[in-house]
Amino acid sequence: MIIEKDLYDQILRVMPIPCVDLLITDNSGRVLLVKRKNEPMKDQWWFPGGRVLFKETRYLAACRKLHEECGLQAISVKEMGTFDLILPIPDEDEISHGITTLFLINVGDNTAFTVDDQSYFAEWRKPEAWITEDLHEFVRSNITSVDKTNPL
């Protein structure tokens, strides 16, 4: 179900939005992050993911977003936790409030990806390479929590 933009903007101002974020790993222990095209966190490295649709479980939303945003298929999926993300939207002097469930997803050796219209770039890197970037604490702390010897 697609919500008309004006109504969606009203909803965003009065309630949190249920979302999923995807901590995607491959068999070599790399993590895939995207550069966001839109707010919140525009032009920042972030996990692929997005809104949970009406009548959709968080698990199914994670699988859908993996395919839609990255063109990838999961080998394994593990729920890591649910978090409040209250993020600034600088140009609009607003905030975004999402309640997101983070899923650890392994895609095996099939790492050829695509990016959809929510992002303009994506890259695979080892966690130790990612943490040299200026990452939001949510991204940084969850990347460093991945067991590098056994991602799932």
In 10 A of CB 57, how many CB atoms?
12
Domain definitions of the chain by residue range: 16-144
Mean pLDDT of the chain: 91
Phi then psi for 118, rounded to 5 degrees?
-85, -15
As given in the structure block, the two tokens for residue 70 are 């990255």
Is the peptide bond preceding residue 48 cis, with omega within 30 degrees of 0? no
Comparing 106 with 10, the larger pLDDT belongs to 106
Per CATH, the number for 16-144 is: 3.90.79.10
Q: In terms of DSSP H, where are the helices of the chain?
A: 5-14, 58-70, 127-130, 137-144
Distance CA 134, CA 79 (A): 25
pLDDT in tens, 66-86: 999 999 999 999 999 999 999
Quote the pTM value.
Answer: 0.89
Give the pLDDT confidence score for residue 131 in this predicted structure. Answer: 93
